[in-house]
Every structure is written in structure tokens, then in C-alpha cells.
Structure 1
Amino acid sequence: MHLKSNLKKKYQRVFEGIAKQGDATLLNNIYTDLYITQGGSEQVNTEHEVRQIEVTSRRHESQEIQVECTHLFKPGKDKKIKTVLTKGVAGIGKSVSVQKFVLDWAEGKENQDISFIFPLPFREMNLQDKEKQSLMDLITQFFPETKGLNLAKRNMYKVLFILDGLDEFRLPLNFKDNETLCDVLSPASLDVLLTNLIKGNLLPSALIWITTRPAAASKIPPYCIDQVTEIRGFNDTQKEEYFRKRFTDENQFKEIIDHIIKSKSLFIMCHIPVFCWISATVLQNILEMKTNNNLKNNQSNDASKTLQESNTEDTPKTLTQMYTHFLRFQIQQSRRKYDGEYTPDVSWDKDAILSLGKLAFQQLERNNVIFYESDLEACGIDVYKASVYSGMCTQIFKEETGIILGTMYCFVHLSIQEFIAALYAHLFLDIHKKSVFVHESTEQDSKKETLTDLLKTVVDKALESDNGHLDLFLRFLLGLSLQSNRLLLQGLLTQQDENDQSKKEIVQYIKQKFEANLSPERSINLFYCLNELNDQTLVKEIQTHLSKGSLSSAELSPAQWSAMAFVLLTSKEEQEEFELQKFKKSDECLIRLSAVIKNSKIALLNDCDLTDRSCSALATVLASDTSLKELNMNNNNLQDPGVKLLCTGLENLKCELEILRLSNCSITEEGYKALASALRSNPSHLIELDLTGNDPGQSGVKELSDLLQDPNCQLKKLRFLGTAADKACQDVNRVLGENLLLLRELNLSELGLSGLNKLAAVLQDKHCKLNKLILSDCSITEEGYKALASALRSNPSHLIELDLKGNDPGQSGVKQITDLLQDPNCHLKTLRFLGPAADEACQYVIKVQGENPLLLKELNLSLHELGDTRVNQIAALLQDKHCKLNTLILCGCCITEKQCFILTSTLKSNPSHLRELDLSGNKIENKGVKHLCDLLIDFHCKMERLRLRGCDMTDEGCSALTSALKSNPSHLRELDLSENKLGDSGFENISNLLKNPECKLEILALCKCSIKEKQCVFLTSALKSNPSHLRELDLSGNVLKHTRVNKFYDILKESRFKLERLRLRYCAIKAEDCSALTSALKSKSSHLRELALSGNELGQLGATNLCDILMNPQCKLEKLELVTLYCTAVTV
């Protein structure tokens, strides 16, 4: 195919750095892969391109998707790729990438599915804007070999149009208003042809590849582009690869690459392939000159010295030095090539350089990088001379059969144009003593400008620029003011004696500028300017602080803060993570170092006392081309105003933040709404958002949760809660299928909880807005109640109803919750622990006693006739685990055998708390007692005190009772069976119980039980058998004759018998019985401390004898009650 053959011939060689006059090299021999990334921003970047390169050089490759040039049109996941826009700064390698792509196709290596490739450089199409022509006419004009080709046949050919250098196109490309054109044979203006081709109206199936500098990318509407890529130039590995290919001598390669790496500004600029060429050209020339000089002088010892060791002042370390050497070399080369001069000194053509400089300066002011013969002629440049200076100015022309498309000119790179413009400013000052910025019509002949005046003027102009378009020009201008650099231009620039004074003045002037509120970008450029002036004082001060670790306590000036940013940005170490606490916890520190944050992948700004001032600076960072992917702002008092400022950055399409942490930042509903709005505007990058510890108001959670339904939203983690609370939310979502934070009522009855602590963590969080919470029968224990109470104290304002029926609150659970009701912030209206019946009993007790029975340990309802309904309600209360009664006293309540059954059945279901039961005065009879025995026999029963005085129990009931107590004897400490007719068998059973070694009974009351002789024998026998536990015995109201009472007196003498209190009131004891009693009390073995004998017939003598015994030192008696018929008040 003729097209492939011709394209191969045209593209197989590359003229590195210059066109036509350079040394042509086979592209495949010199080509180094460029770093191309997917997904560049579609927004306009108007920053100076060198500034963009500096930012790009610090970007982390791991966070970008690399694209191979040959696979630009490989289909994406969701769509076919038809139109690709590739951005890249000047000299980065866009045109060389196009050349390589076309050559690989022409040689049959890549993309062979494409039938035709038509490279159409915009710079050449500029000359086709005069006449109307069809698309086929345009193709034929550029590629005559395609004449007669019919591209209109649908789907017959796969065609690729490469539109290279959009930034060089001078026509408007009016996509909005241009007419629609669908016929490839219809003539139209070039503007109309191109807009319809790019929109897909002409040849809809054609592939389009557009290359451009970043500032011109916005000329193409986003809807016309399927994929945006960006050529980043050489990464660090590719830089070394380039120099290794350029220098086959290993020693030369190592010397040159080591020198470039040591100079940070040079190494950064080597991202640009053209700058690699410039550096290689200069450094190779310096090495060769030194080698030749050494050999000529036979200085063999010096011949081995490196760039760093030999004549270090001649080896370029700054941009100005590099470009000055490059200018000298190119002029020397051109003199040798065109004039045959081979002298080591440079012969300057000042007029030609002035003309070239004027062109560079004027076109720089107009932001033009492509110019034509008319532009050159306006500056007095001979077209032939432009070719002579081929190293600096490139003549690009295309000559086809019978058609001359025209001639265009440009500098090899924008930076060279800026260098020549700066050189022109110095020449202009030398000659005219005027600033190049002073317009002719406003020149004041009487005033002469000094070098210092010029430098100050340009410093001010550069700082006034929003996009820094004069930044590099200023660096060159300052660098050329140094005497060391002017010596290299001897014969061209005047050598000024006062140069050192000018340097001091301008250095001081620049340092003063740091005191103003400069943007981080402008501040950093000023440090590059100081670097060109060889002034490192501020940088060294900061490096000292860093090495000493004294930053947190140091009071830094604005200039020092700027120096800090510069040092961090130009550090050899990659700033993967920025942690503000390592510097100073303040808004000022963050604002001053925002350029460093912009360059970092992770910014840890938590716990730094930041306010909305910092948010404004961060918004600017987020809205720029930044490396930042993770931002941690936890525990700063940002409040809603701060978050709203932050959102102005988040909503910007340039923002590619993936993780944002804002926990405990005092954000309320307004802040949540702002975040939701920002993420709707730019939903495609953020994958994690942490808002724990804030207060979302009524709608904040919903605003953000709704985002998760947006198909464009990439949010994977939306965190409102801590770990435990978040787990509870997940559990609820799994069980109920709903987001707990969006609910106003939650019913988890009988569903069970894996841990109430997790739910409590949700309740205490302000994101939770529950009004009603039902947790009945959820197996919640005391710890759960405590957790709930704690949670509701932390967030008391929303819950109005809480249902905890069917749970076990332990000893303090109920109190923990009910105490909440005293909190004035608590809005709880309904607190439900009990079922309806138990709740009725609770209300009854509150009415009768004025206290909540759930908070009581003892309940005494004696002498209240309860009836069946009330007993059932009390039974329900007793059955509930919220009831923790230890003592239940129901004396004289008219409880029947049936009601006794209800009570004991209930107590069996919740027996573990009751320790004391008093049913005295109720006619429950033997059947009632037997019901009670069912409770006592339960091993869960821990009854310690049982009173059944006057319950109409007989020996039958007593037998059942003692049998039950024998089976579970270890807990009962007190038993009162007074006023019951127990009979002989009853007493015998009681005696057998007392004899049981496991019986721990301490108090026994058998008042008015009609004890007889035989029954006394049973009792005394039992007490002798197991005497060590009983401490109190009450036999009052029984007629104890002489023989009976003496049996008890005898036991008192036994040391094993530990009885301390004996009550024998109204037992018909006579005076003659006192002698045996006094004898027992005198015994050392007696432990009796209290004796009650009132109501007996002791007489004066008996009372006196007993009183006298108290004087006996061996008697342990402490209390003696002797109210008798004869002695009305004898109590000792």
C-alpha cells in the first residue's frame, strides 16, 4: 500500500530536538517508552507547564492507570473507545508518540485492524483556512496517494485520523454553532470539517486521536471524548533508560546521570524528553571539551576527573547554567556548520540574537509558541538566519507535489523561548537602559533603569500572575544576572561591577515577598529563583530545624514556612504521607504547607486544632491536580462552615479523593447536606467516608445514605458509627432488612441479640434517632441494662418509649434505667418492664406504699385483703425477673389455699431471689402448706426465713413441711410454726429435721403449740444431737411443767449447745424451777445472752435469785426479762 510505504519513509527517522538540521536517527533505535496515564482531568490547567512538570514529577505512579500507546483504542469495560484526547506539556513527546504509533502500523507491527491512518498536524492545517474543501479533498491534499479512495462506503474501512497539536490550531472550532455536515464530499470550511469529524457526523465509525497541550484541551467538549490520557513524559526509570541509550560508554553514562540526579531542578525537568536531549548535549560537550583539553595539555592525572570534580564552576547545576551552555554550544555548532569556524570562543551575532529575542519575548507575552514568516519579519529576522540558528528555532515545512503547504516556526521547547526572552530583556537593558516591559509610548527618556529595577519589576509581575506564566522567565532572568553566568555570555552581555550588590538587593527583595500572602505555588517558584541566585540561606535554616527536630516549638516566619514547603517538595524522599503533628498543630502550618499536602498521597491532619481556615486551603488543594487520595481530619472542630468550605473542593471534578475521615468534627445536619450535595456533583471517586461522632440532625443520615442508591456513586464505606455500633447496624439490617439509623421504631422482640453493648453503642450515638425501642424477651441481663442506661444518658433526647419485658435486669438493672427518668434531658415517657398483670400489681403497690416494687427488696402487704385478682397480679409480678424481692410479708391477707397455690407456683418459676416469706395469719391449712412444700423442695429455692404462724396447720402439714426441708435443708435459718396444732408426730418430724447434720436452722419459734411431755423429749433430744446451729428458741405460750422445763435447762449446761436467746414467756414456770435455771446460767458452758421469762409465776424470791445470778462473773447473760405478777418491771 502506497500510504503505508510513504508514512514509513516519513516517520522512520527522528530529528531529535531540531528538524531537518539535526542529526537524523532511526526512531526505533532512540525511542524510549513514555509514561502515559488514563483518566486525565478534562478541565483546563492554565498553570505554567514547567510548574505542571514539577507537580507531575512528584506524583505517585501507583495511584495511576498506565496506558500503552499502542492500545489507546482498546475497548473499555463499559464502552468502545472511538475518540481519544491525549494531553501533555510542550516537548513531552506527544508528536514522537504519534510518530511511533504510525511507524509501528506502517511497518506492520501494531494495530493492523486499521485500514488507513491519516496524521493531520494542526500546525499545517492552519494554512488551509482560506478556502472551502471537502474532507476527501483535505485527505487527498495531504496524502495524494489516496486519490480516488471512497471512504464513504459504510464499514468497509477502519480509519484513524490523528489530529496532532490542537494547541497550535488558530481556528475557533465552534462545536456549538457550526452547521452539521455528514457528506465527506461536501465542501466546507476547515473549522466545520473538523468539528463534524470529531463529533462523529462525518465518518461516524472513524477513530479520532487528538493531541494537545493541557491549556487547549477545553476546546473539545467532553461529550465528544471517550477517553482522556496524559503523557507524563519520562518517569525516573525511563530517564535513565534515555541516557543509557544516548551514551553507550558506561562511564560517561554514570557521570552524566549522577550529575543530573544530584541537581533536583535538572532531574525534574528531565521528565521532558527535549530537556533530556538538551542536558545530554551540554554535558557530553563539556566532558569532551575537558577530555580534549586534558589530552592536549598532557594532564593525564586530571583526565579521569568527573563532572563533579573538575572545574565544578563550569558544570551546570541550575536551569540558567544549562540553557546558557546549550546556547553557546548550538551557536558554536552552527558557526562550524555554516561558517567553518572552529574557535573555542563564541562569536556572537548580537543583532540576530536581539531579533530572535524580540520574537521570543513578544510571542511569550501573547502566549504563542507557533509563528510564521510575518512574525519573524516583524522582528527583523532573516528567514535564512532562522535556519542557521536551528538549535534554537525550528523551521518545519512540508513540500508536496505541486502544493506547498507553507512554513511555520517555533522554538524547540517553550522553556527555550523563555530563556531567549530573558536574555533579550538583559540585552535590551544593556543597550537602552530601559526595561523591556516599558512600552515605547510611555518611555521616560530621563529615567534610566538599573538591573535591580528590572529584576524587581519582573518579580512583581510574576507574582501577579494567577497561572505563573512568567515563573520560568523570571528564573532565567535572575540566573542571567549572576556574574558567573554572564561570563559565559562574554561579548554578548556587559560584565557589571555592581553585580554582587544587585544580587544582594534582589535576594533581600525576594525574601521580603514571602511576608505577603502568596500562594504556595508562587512561594515555591521564588525558592527556585533563589536557587538560580545561589542563595540557600533560608533552606539551610529549615534543614537545621528539621535535623534538630525543633519545629513544633520554633516560631517560623512566613519566609521560613515557605522554605519548609520548598525543602519538603524538593526532598529526595517521596512524600507518600504527610502528618501535620510532626510540624505544628495549627491552621497556619497547614496553610503554609498546603503545597506539600497537594503532593502527598495521604494527609494525616487529625487532632490538630484545625478550623474552617484550614478547610478553605484544603478545598483549593482538592480542586487542583493533586496526588491526594486520603484525608484524615478526625477530631478537629471544623463545624458546618468548615465542612461547607471543604465541599467546594470535593464537588470539583478534579477532586479524586478516595478516603475522607471527619469523625468528631462537630458537624451537624447542614454539614451533612453539604457533603451529600458535593458527592452528588462528583460521585465517582470517594469510596470511604467516616462521620462517626457527629450529629446529623433529623435528615443528615438519610441525605448521605441515599447516595448509595446512585449508580454513579462509588462510595463503599459510609461510616457513621464506631465498630460495635456499626456491627449492631449490620445485625439489624441482616434481620430486618433496614438501616437502623433511618428508623424511628425498632422492634427486636424475641429475635435475640448477639450483644446489647453493640446496640447500646448505636443508641448513644447522635446518628440514632429512635423514638420507640422494643426489646422484650431478648435475654438481656444486668450488663445489658447498664449499657442501655449509659447509652441513653449520652443521647437522651429522642427515645420516648422503651420496652424491656421478659428480660433479666439483675440486681441493679431496673434502677439504672428508672434513674434516667430523673434526667431533665430524658424524654422517656413509657418505660415498660412488666406484662399487663404484673404492671397492675406494680401500680397497686405504688398506690398502697408509695414505692416502686421493682426497686424494693421487701414488700409488706399485711392486713390488706387481696382477693383472687390481686393475688394473681402479685404472682405475675413475683414471676417477672425484674422483680428482685427478698422479703414478702403477707400476714393477715386472707390468703386461701387456692391463692397459696398461685403464689407458690409463681415463686417456683422465679425462686432464686426470695429469702423470706411470711404467710402468718392466713388459713392456708395443710393443703396450702403442701403447695408451699413444692417450692421449698426446689434446689433453686434459697429460702432462709419461713413464717407460718397461725395457718391452721396440723401434724399432716408439718410432716410435709419437714420432709421438704430435709430434702433442701441447707438454706433455712428461721422457722416459725407457732399457733399451729402440730401434735406428737409433728414434733417428732421437727426433731428429726433438727437432728439432720445439714440443717442450719438458727431460729425456731413454736409458740402456743400445746407442747406436751413427750414433745419436749423430742425437742431436747434433737437439740442434743445437733446443738451447734440453733441460736434462738421461742417456746412462749406453752405450759412447761417442772420436768419439761428442766430438760431445757440441762441443755444450757452443754458446751456444744450455742443457744444465745431463749424465750419462755407465759410458760407457767414457778419459783421452784428457778434453782435449776440459775444453776445452768452459772455454768461456764452456757452461751445464753438473752432470756425472756415474763408472764411466769416466779415470785419475788425467784426473781431475786435470777437477778443475783447476773452478778456472777461466769454468767454470760446480757438481757433478762422478768415482768411477773409480783415484779412489774425487773429488766436488767
Structure 2
Amino acid sequence: MFECLYEGTAKQGTPTLLNAEGKENQDIQLIFPLPFRELNLMKDEKLSLLDLLHVLFPETKEMKISSDEYKVLFIFDGLDECCLPINFDTSETLQDATKETSVHMLLMNLIVGNLLPSALIWITSRPAAADLVPSECVHRVTEVRGFSDPQKEEYFRKRISDQSLTERIISHLKSSKSLFIMCHIPVFCWISAAVLEKMLSEAESGEIPKTLTQMYTHFLIIQTSIKHEKDYEKNVKDEDMILNLGKLAFQQLVKGNLIFYEQDLSECGIDVTEASVYSGLCTQIFREELGLYQGKVFCFVHLSIQEHLAALYVLLSFLLDKRDVLNENLSLKHERECRTISDLHQRAVDKALQSKNGHLDLFLRFLLGLSLKSNQMLLKGLLIHVGNISYGKKKIAAYIKTEITVNPSPEKYINLFHCLNELGDHSLVSEIQNYLRSGDLSSTRLSSSQWSAVVFVLLTSEQSDKFDLSKYVSREYNQNHMSPDDVFLKLLPVVEASRSAQVSNCGVTDEGCAALCSALRSNSSHLRELDLTLNTLEDAGLTLISEGLKDPHCRLEKLMLRDCGVTAEGCAALASALRSNPSHLRELDLFGNKLRRSSVKLLSALKVDPHYKLVMLL
């Protein structure tokens, strides 16, 4: 849903900055969008790079793309949807753009820079799948959060003509933090606009969606009503079609397929003509004219719609037929039998946590949300055979809290917190909000799950771009609890996710600097401004931080190091780091340190490097 963007020039050059406002990358002449959904269809083809481009973009046949005549950008869209055999360890080296090979070999050689080494490569993906591409193959990774808060509002104002209704929609979305956060995804804005425009009009009544599952369930109902408005003479009941579409969605999700064929529809009892009237859910891809593959090709309008229908199918299979479709694979028969809805939920949690690319994360949120009474009532309008679901919500909530305690992955525990939100369980978050109001986290004993909740609350706060650690840390070390440095280590994911981090006077030591070095080198770090003023880093600490600054993934633009006990030794390490990676840091503040004039000259001498960006040195 929200996406990560790998941006780089592979083995050569310096990557340009991504700027959503169009102020960068003005020298790019050709942009080739290559969705993995379509590349998946070509997995059995043998093509050269030029053949691939000529097939997808016939207008390029007369262009000399393999030369340096054009500045080219390739956008591989949806790495998390890739069904190609991506294996960088066994890939053959290919430098000839006219030589035929498999599509996945073309892709990997483009990414590592063997093919068209001067081209820019951007790859979008959900965060959990981002690590499929080794970090050494790209210069940096940027998380693209989609719409900013002002852009979210702008979307609805442009999308809906009735401005008073627009303001009500925006106000409702802002009242639910989880929904407003999701609006960074354009397709979610589209779905929300379709639902809320109808729900908030004078002619409608009923509970307005407050969770992700409620929003998608209302969208499903709207799409069914649109079909009736088309006056379609149906041969199949809505209930049967939704179950069949859910079966298709689940089977293809498990296989990792986002694109399927007419035969796949038929195997799920879906007639192509009947499916066409549900075009807001499932649509046909028109690429038949390319001649690369035969037959009609289909996909769901968006992966999240497929995940919602898949979750609905899993739930209904258990309720109506007592089937545990999550465990129908013969190789998994050793798993415990699901006797209750709670058992089914626990199995879904386990499978989502086992998924390396996170392909079941959103599915899990939908499955849990669809089991709630509020969504049951919505579904009864479509699925007349669905009865009341009885299960222990507290039991699955307790199970999720246990998994939050033992799961170290930030992406995983954040998704588990979203699952608790779908269940309406805010107990952990409420506890942490009270702790945060107290100010000093170092004087409070918190469990592992509570620390996870701290990180979750801070990561999803309204001010997530700016984080002031000093509000939660006392410099005084209480031996009965945590040192300030320990608190810093616990909250490092929040520092890493923030654009600007205020860590001044927080007692950061060598151990904290070592962890900070790792964060600066991380593919997923968003950190651009870091204030470490009044921490006793000294030369050892700055040397560790310099190792992070040296890494090509580090994109820090502003570094404040006032009164940190740094001498010429630490300054030399810093100068060496900037010599290795000179293209990002723009502002450096070393005021109040024990620096000699020679140290300042050492840094100033770097300005002869044409890639050097430092404009302010204090």
C-alpha cells in the first residue's frame, strides 16, 4: 500500500533526488513505467531489452535507447507483486541490450547496472518486500509516503464538486487517525471518496466507516449497487458472485498471483461476462494486441481489494462450510485443527508473521475486522446466509499482544497494532499515551509490548516528521530503571523514521552512536536533520557516526554537534566520511567543540569536490 522507492544509478554516478513537486530530475527525457503485474505475464518470454521496450512502447522503435543519447528512467512498479524468479546471486551478466534472455534476467541486469548503466532505476514496493533487492545494487532507498496531509485534502476538494460535503468528508477522515494515515495512498482516497460521498449525503443514513475494513466493506456494497443500476439481467446471485470472486482472490493471493486468466475465473465458477459488470472490483487488462500471451487477462482493480475479498472468502468458508482454507495445503496438515473463529484468527496471525514479503498483512487486518458485529450487519445485506459470529475478541487480542512482545520487526508489530485497531482494542495504545504524558520514560518500567506500543504511537503521531527525544528522557541515570541511552536505543526506530530528530542533551553514549551509525546506513531511514547537541559523544562517538555518514544510503542533510567534546581526531574521521559521501550533507554545526584551525581547514578543503554540498559550517 504505502510504497518504498529504490532510486539510484546502480554502479555509476550519483542518484538524483526524488521530488514529488517536480523540482528535480528535470534532465530525464524518457520514462518507462513497467508494472510487475504486466512483467509477470512475460515470465516465459525470451526478449532483448530493446524488444521488450518496443513491444510495450511501439513509439520507441526508431530511438537509440541503448546509446547515451537519452537520459532514461525505468520505473518497476510493485515489487511486492512480482512473480518472477528474482535471484541476484545466480543472475548472468548481460550488457548487450539487443541480446535475448528471460525477462527476469533483463530486470536484474538493469537494476545492478550491467544494462544501460547510466539509466535511473526506481522500484516501488510495500515496505515488507523492499529487501528483495540487495542494498548493494542500489544507491539508496526512499520511503514514498504518497500524499502529504495538504495533498490529501487537495485530492478530495478536486474530486468532489460539493465543497461543503468535501469539508465534512475531510473532517470525518481526520477524526480517525488510522483512516487519515491511509489517505497517503491515492487509491484509498479514491475508495474513501466513493464511500463517504454516498454515506454523508442527505439521502443516506447509517454508521459512517471508522476503520479500514468498514471502508472496504462499504465499497463492496456500493460496487454491487452500481451493478444493479446498470439494469444487468443477472444469472448469478450477488452472494454467489462475491463468494466466487473471494475464492479467486484468495487462491491467487496464496500463489502470489495478481494477474490471472479466463481459465482461473472458470475454475472459481465465474463467467467472464458476469464478472465484467463488477468492473469496480475486477477488470480486464487489454494487452492482447501485443501478441505476447494468449487469452483474456484479468486483475483486481487494486491489491487491497483482492486482499479484502480473500479475507471475506476465508471467513465465509469457515462459517458456512466449516472449511479451514488457510490449511488446505497437504504439506501443512500437521498444523492444529481450527475449531473456532479464534483458532482461525490465530492461524492467520501466524501465517502473516511467517510471510517474508508481508503479502498477508493487510489480509489479516481485513479478516479480523470482518469478524466484528458491525461488519457482520453490513454483510447481511449482501450475504443472506451469514449468521451471527461468536468468538472471544479478548482472546485474539491477547494473542496479538503476545506476538507484539516477541516479534522484532517494526513492520510486523506496526501491522499487529493496526490489527488491534480493527478489533477496537486500544488498551496498549491508551496505556502508552498515559506514559508519554508523564514525560520521562527512563523512570518508568515498561514491558516489551509496551515499548512496542510506544514506538507505534510515536511513529503514527501527527508530528511523525519531527521527533524530540528530549521530551521523554532525563539525563539523570536511575539505576533502578533505564539509562537515557537505553531509552534512545528503544526509540531509535522513531528517530530513523522521522525527517528531523531532536536528540540534544539526551545522554547518548558510544553504544547509542553505534546504533545510530546502523540507522544512518539503513535503506529505510528517512532522517534528514539530526541534532545531537550537548551529548558527550567525544571522538569515539563521532567516529562511529562518521561510519554511518560514509555509507551511500545515508542522506543526512543537517547535523548539529554543538558542545559534544569533539577534538581534531573526531573531526578527521568526519572529514574522511564526507570525502567518501559528499553529496548530501548541507549544514554542519561544530560550535563549542575543541577544534583547532587545522580541523576546520580540513573540512573546508573538501569544497573543491564538485559533489560537495556543504553550504554552512559553524
Q: What's the TM-score once normalised by structure 2's chain length?
A: 0.74
Is contact 1:83-1:209 (8 Å) kept?
no
2:217 alignment partner AA: T
Question: 1:83, 1:208 within 8 Å by CA — same for their partners in 2?
Answer: no
Secondary structure of residue in 1 paired with 2:238: coil
Q: Please name the residue that 2:250 is paired with.
A: 361
Residue aligning to 1:984: none
Aligned-pair CA distance for 1:328: 1.3
Aligned 8 A contact 2:46 2:103 in 1 = yes
Q: Which residue of 1 aligns with 2:176?
A: 263
Amino acid in structure 1 at the alignment position of 2:347: T
Partner of 1:283: 196
Find the structure with the greater CA-based Rg. Answer: 1
1:791-843 per-residue CA deviation (whole Å, 9 max, x = no partner) reads xxxxxxxxxxxxxxxxxxxxxxxxxxxxxxxxxxxxxxxxxxxxxxxxxxxxx
Q: In structure 2, how many angstroms separate the alpha carbons of the residues matched to 1:383 and 1:587? A: 68
Cα distance change on mapping 1:360 and 1:556 into 2, 3 Å: same
Query: Matches of 2:152 and 2:63 in 1, distance apart?
Result: 42
- From 171, 174, 181, the counterpart of 2:96: 181
> Corresponding residue for 1:647?
517
2:305 equivalent to 1:416: yes
Q: Aligned in 2, Cα 1:190/1:702: closer, same or farther, shift over 3 Å? A: closer
Write the distance in 1 (CA, Å) between the matches of 2:313 and 2:556: 47
Is it true that 1:372 corresponds to 2:261 in the alignment? yes
Name the structure 1 match of 2:153.
Answer: 240
Measured in 1, the distance between the counterparts of 2:384 and 2:116 equals: 57
Cα shift readout 1:559-594 (whole Å, capped 9, x = no counterpart): 555555554444445662323444677999xx9xxx
Q: Contact (CA 8 Å) 1:428, 1:436: kept in 2 or not? A: yes
Structure 1, residues 1014-1051: CA drift from partner, whole Å, max 9, x if none? Answer: xxxxxxxxxxxxxxxxxxxxxxxxxxxxxxxxxxxxxx
CA contact (8 A) 1:609 1:637 kept: no
CA distance in 2: counterparts of 1:163 and 1:705, whole angstroms: 35
Tell me which of 19, 26, 42 is aligned to 1:74. Answer: 26
1:688 is aligned to 559
Q: 1:250 to 1:373 in 2, by over 3 A?
A: same
Q: Residues of 1 paired with 2:58 and 2:580: CA distance?
A: 52
Query: Could you tell me how far 1:369 is from its partner in structure 2?
Result: 2.4
Give the distance between the partners of 1:565 and 1:512, measured in 2 at CA. 16
Q: 1:526 to 1:389 in 2, by over 3 A?
A: same
Instruction: Return the letter of the residue paired with 1:233.
Output: G
- For the pair 1:390 / 2:279, whether they are aligned, the reply is yes
Deviation per residue, 1:352-409 (Å, 9 max, x gap): 3333223322333344323334544454443334323322122112343988765332
Q: Where in structure 2 are the equivalents of 1:831-850 lying within 5 Å?
A: none
Partner Cα separation in structure 2 for residue 710 and residue 160 of structure 1: 26
Task: Say if 2:209 is the partner of 1:316.
Answer: yes
SS across alignment from 1:577: strand
Question: Superposed, which structure 2 residues align to 1:828-867 within 5 Å?
Answer: none
Correspondence 1:577-976 to 2 at 5 A: 577-582=467-472, 609-611=483-485, 613-614=486-487, 616-617=489-490, 626-630=497-501, 632=503, 634=505, 636=507, 638=509, 640-652=510-522, 654-655=524-525, 656=527, 658-659=529-530, 661=532, 665=536, 673-682=543-552, 685=556, 688=559, 690=561, 702-704=572-574, 706-707=576-577, 710=580, 712=582, 714=585, 717=588, 719=590, 722=592, 725-726=594-595, 729-730=596-597
Query: Is residue 2:392 matched to residue 1:502?
Result: yes
C-alpha distance in structure 2 between counterparts of 1:550 and 1:708, whole Å = 35
- What is the identity, as a one-letter code, of the residue corresponding to 1:66? N
Could you say what secondary structure the match of 1:410 adopts? strand
Unpaired stretches in structure 2, ≥5 consecutive residues:
11-16, 604-618
Aligned residue in 1 for 2:219 = 326
2:383 is aligned with 1:492? yes
Task: Note the C-alpha offset of 1:140.
Answer: 5.8
Distance 2:408 2:569 in 1: 40
Q: CA separation in 2, counterparts of 1:464 and 1:138?
A: 35
Q: Contact 1:36–1:68 (CA<8 Å) still a contact in 2? A: no
Q: Is the 8 A contact 2:250 2:313 kept in 1?
A: yes
Q: TM-score, normalising length from structure 1?
A: 0.44
**Whole-Å Cα distance in 1 between the matches of residues 232 and 144 of structure 2?**
40
Q: Which residue number corresponds to residue 125 of structure 2?
A: 213
Per the TM alignment, residue 244 of structure 1 is displaced from its structure 2 partner at its CA by: 1.9
Letter in 1 for 2:19: Q
Change (3 A) 1:706 1:563: closer
Find the aligned partners of 1:523 and 1:403 in 2 and give their Cα distance. 42
Alpha-carbon offset, residue 325 of structure 1: 1.0
Distance in structure 2 (CA, Å) of the matches to 1:494 and 1:256: 33
- 1:319 Cα deviation (Å)? 0.9
1:453, CA displacement in angstroms?
1.5
Deviation at 1:202, TM superposition (A): 8.1
User: What per-residue deviation string (whole Å, max 9, x for no partner) do you get for residues 100-122 of structure 1?
Assistant: xxxxxxxxxxxxxxxxxx77665
Matched, 1:251 2:164: yes
Q: Tell me, yes or no, if the aligned pair for 2:465 and 2:500 is still in contact at 8 Å.
A: no
Give me the whole-angstrom Cα distance separating, in 2, the residues matched to 1:559 and 1:202: 47
- 2:465, 2:498 within 8 Å by CA — same for their partners in 1? no
Structure 1: unaligned runs, 5 residues or longer: 1-34, 44-63, 76-80, 85-117, 294-309, 592-607, 740-1132
CA distance in 2, matches of 1:545, 1:717: 34
Q: 1:26-57 CA distances to partner (integer Å, 9 max, x unpaired)?
A: xxxxxxxxx999985899xxxxxxxxxxxxxx
Deviation of 1:321 (Å): 0.9
- Amino acid paired to 2:551: S
SS at match of 1:400: helix
Q: After TM superposition, give the deviation of residue 425 of structure 1 in Å.
A: 1.5
Higher relative contact order (CA 8 A, sep 6+): 2
2:185 is the counterpart of 1:272: yes
Question: Which residue does the alignment assign to 1:1105?
Answer: none
State the one-letter code of the partner of 2:249.
A
1:318/1:347 CA distance change after superposition, 3 Å? farther
Match for residue 475 of structure 1?
365
Instruction: Confirm whether residue 438 of structure 1 aligns to residue 327 of structure 2.
Output: yes
Q: How does 1:1009-1024 map to 2 (within 5 A)?
A: none
Question: CA 1:692–1:210 in structure 2 vs 1: closer, same or farther (change >3 Å)?
Answer: closer
Closer, same or farther: CA 128–373 of 1 in aligned 2, 3 Å:
same
Q: Distance in 1 between matches of 2:427 and 2:209?
A: 21
Separation in 1, partners of 2:545, 2:69: 49
Given that residues 172 and 191 in structure 1 are in contact (C-alpha distance below 8 angstroms), is that contact kept between their aligned partners in structure 2?
A: yes
Aligned letter for 1:427? Answer: L
Query: RMSD of aligned C-alpha atoms?
Result: 5.0
Distance 1:690 1:231 in 2: 29
In percent, how many aligned pairs have the same letter?
A: 42
User: Contact (CA 8 Å) 1:425, 1:435: kept in 2 or not?
Assistant: yes
Separation of aligned partners in 1, 2:419 and 2:329: 29
Secondary structure at the residue paired with 2:172?
A: helix
Alpha-carbon distance in structure 2 between the residues aligned to 1:583 and 1:82? 50
Shift in alpha-carbon separation, 1:287–1:676, aligned structure 2, 3 A? closer
Contact 1:619 1:647 in 2 (8 A): no
CA displacement at 1:493 relative to structure 2: 7.2
1:337 to 2:208 alignment: no
Partner of 1:457: 347
Partners of 1:198 and 1:224 within 8 A in 2: yes
